[in-house]
C-alpha cells in the first residue's frame, strides 16, 4: 500500500490544494493520512477542514486543532499563534468544530506495523517536541510498531534507531527515496504543508510504501502570495504572512 502522509497545513488552502493534487494525481497514492494541525495561522480554516474531511481517510488532531476547540492550554503559544487561535475560534462553523472534536490523538495500523501521532507517541496530549537523541530513545520505547509518523515541528526528519543507537537523517529537498532497514525502527517527521520551518518555503509531504518499506519526503511550490494576501486581508498578524515566503 502506498500512503500519502501530510500534516500542519494550518488553514493554508493554496498549499493544501497543491499537495493533495500531487499525492492523488501525480503520486497516485492508495490512501491519504493527515497528522493534524488542520487549522491555526492561515486564513481558510473551514475550507481546509472540508477538503481534509472529504479526501483523507485517516486524520488525527494537532495542538492547534485542540487550541481552536479550547481543549489545550495556549499560554505557551507565542502572541501571533494566540491571536490566530482566537481568530480561528471565531471563524469555525459548528460543523467544522464538531469535525475537529471527532479526531483522535493517535492511530495504530497494526497490520502495516506503523502508528501516527501529531507530537510524540509517549504522551500525545502533552504536545512535546523531540529535541535530543535521549528524548528520541525515550519515544522509541513508548511504541511497539516499526514506524511512527509525526508532524508538529514543521521540519522533515527521519530518526532511525538501530539497537538503541540513534541516527538522524535530514530530509532536505531532493533527498532520494529512503529504504527502511529491516533491523531498525523509525520516527519520521513529514514536515509541514502550510507553514514550513526548515528555511525552505515549499510545502512538504511524505510518501510511504508499506510493501517496499520506503519513505520519500517531497516538496512543492504553491501560490504563496495568494495565501499571504488572505492572511493580511483577514486581519491576522502580518508576520504569519511574511514567514510563508522564507519558510522559517
Ligand atoms: Zn503545526
Q: What is the pLDDT of residues 73-91, one digit of tens each?
A: 899 899 999 999 999 999 9
User: Residues 6 or more apart from 230 whose CB is under 8 A from it?
Assistant: 13, 42, 43, 44
The 8 Å CB, 24+ separation contacts for 89-98 are 91/45, 91/46, 92/39, 92/45, 92/46, 92/68, 93/46, 96/45, 96/46, 96/49, 96/50, 97/68, 97/69
Q: How confident is the model at residue 92 (pLDDT cuts 50, 70, 90)?
A: very high
pLDDT at 208: 98
What's the whole-number mean pLDDT along residues 143-155? 97
**36 C-alpha to center of ligand 1: Å?**
7
Q: Is the pLDDT of residue 164 over 90?
A: no
Q: How confident is the model at residue 173 (pLDDT cuts 50, 70, 90)?
A: confident
Q: How confident is the model at residue 170 (pLDDT cuts 50, 70, 90)?
A: confident
Q: Could you tell me how many residues make up the chain?
A: 248
**158 C-alpha to center of ligand 1: Å?**
17
Q: Is the pLDDT of residue 141 over 90?
A: yes
State whether the Cα torsion 82-247-12-104 is positive or negative: negative
Q: Is the pLDDT of residue 152 over 80?
A: yes
**10 C-alpha to center of ligand 1: Å?**
7
What's the whole-number mean pLDDT along residues 239-246? 97
How far apart CA 81 and CA 64 sit, in angstroms, is: 9
**151 C-alpha to center of ligand 1: Å?**
7
**136 C-alpha to center of ligand 1: Å?**
19
**160 C-alpha to center of ligand 1: Å?**
22
pLDDT at 96: 98
Amino acid at each position: 500500500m502506498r500512503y500519502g502522509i501530510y500534516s500542519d497545513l494550518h488553514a493554508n488552502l493554496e498549499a493544501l490544494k497543491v499537495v493533495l493534487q500531487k499525492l492523488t494525481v501525480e503520486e497516485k497514492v492508495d490512501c491519504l493520512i493527515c497528522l493534524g494541525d488542520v487549522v491555526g495561522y492561515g486564513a481558510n480554516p473551514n475550507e481546509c477542514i472540508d477538503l481534509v474531511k472529504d479526501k483523507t481517510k485517516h486524520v488525527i488532531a494537532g495542538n492547534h486543532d485542540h487550541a481552536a476547540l479550547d481543549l489545550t492550554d495556549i499560554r505557551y503559544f507565542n502572541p501571533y499563534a494566540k491571536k490566530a487561535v482566537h481568530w480561528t475560534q471565531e471563524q469555525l462553523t459548528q460543523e467544522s468544530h464538531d469535525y475537529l472534536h471527532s479526531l483522535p490523538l493517535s492511530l495504530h495500523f497494526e497490520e502495516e506495523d506503523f502508528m501516527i501521532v501529531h507530537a510524540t507517541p509517549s504522551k500525545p496530549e502533552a504536545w512535546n517536541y523531540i529535541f535530543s537523541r535521549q528524548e528520541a530513545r525515550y519515544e522509541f520505547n513508548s511504541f511497539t510498531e516499526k514506524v511512527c509518523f509525526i508532524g508538529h515541528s514543521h521540519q522533515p526528519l527521519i530518526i532511525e534507531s538501530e539497537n538503541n543507537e540513534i541516527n538522524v537523517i535530514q530530509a532536505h529537498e531532493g533527498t532520494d527515496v529512503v529504504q527502511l532497514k529491516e533491523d531498525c525502527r523509525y520516527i519520521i517527521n513529514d514536515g509541514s504543508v502550510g507553514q514550513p520551518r526548515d528555511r525552505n518555503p515549499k510545502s512538504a509531504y511524505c510518501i510511504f510504501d508499506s510493501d517496499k518499506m520506503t519513505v520519500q519526503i517531497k516538496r512543492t511550490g504553491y501560490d504563496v502570495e495568494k495565501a499571504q494576501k488572505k492572511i493580511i486581508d483577514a486581519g491576522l498578524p502580518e508576520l504569519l504572512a511574511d514567514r510563508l515566503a522564507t519558510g522559517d
